[in-house]
Structure 1
């Protein structure tokens, strides 16, 4: 399933005229948080909430809310990006 996702998501995003890189640049400009599905170089897949800070040609730096630190990610390894809505961003979780 993830192999299909990895091949379909970039195609769908590109078809709509926005690459993953374009989405990251927009999120930096508007200081938006994003939910990201990411695959590491060794094939592990994780979901992270990030706030992109700098976008390069092949990688980007973002604050990762999961790790609570600034991390460097490879754009090619991003499987999906979804902007966090305002209401979702303000949601308080009670355990």
Structure 2
């Protein structure tokens, strides 16, 4: 999964993630990544309409969406 996150960041593609929050709520989100560390990814979350950080260990699944930054994302 980490390789997919890196690829999305490098190619400026949004990712769709299924995320398990600290309170164990599962959500599905579309995120435009802006940075990544060993433990977190940060990016614009379409669900919350703001920049958010996500713990990589709490991402249950992800997939790269076939659209580019110029097509649908206007923040940032």
TM range (shorter): 0.7 to 0.9
Matched residue, 1:70: 51
TM-score by length of 2: 0.83
Provide the alpha-carbon RMSD of the alignment.
1.4
**TM-score, normalisation: structure 1:** 0.67
The structure whose RCO (Cα within 8 Å, separation 6+) is larger is: 2
1:35 to 9, 16, 22: 16
Structure 1: runs of 5+ lacking an equivalent: 1-19
The structure with more helix, counted as a fraction of residues: 1
Q: Which residue of 2 aligns with 1:55?
A: 36
Structure 2: tracts of 5 or more residues without a match: none
Q: Which residue of 1 aligns with 2:7?
A: 26
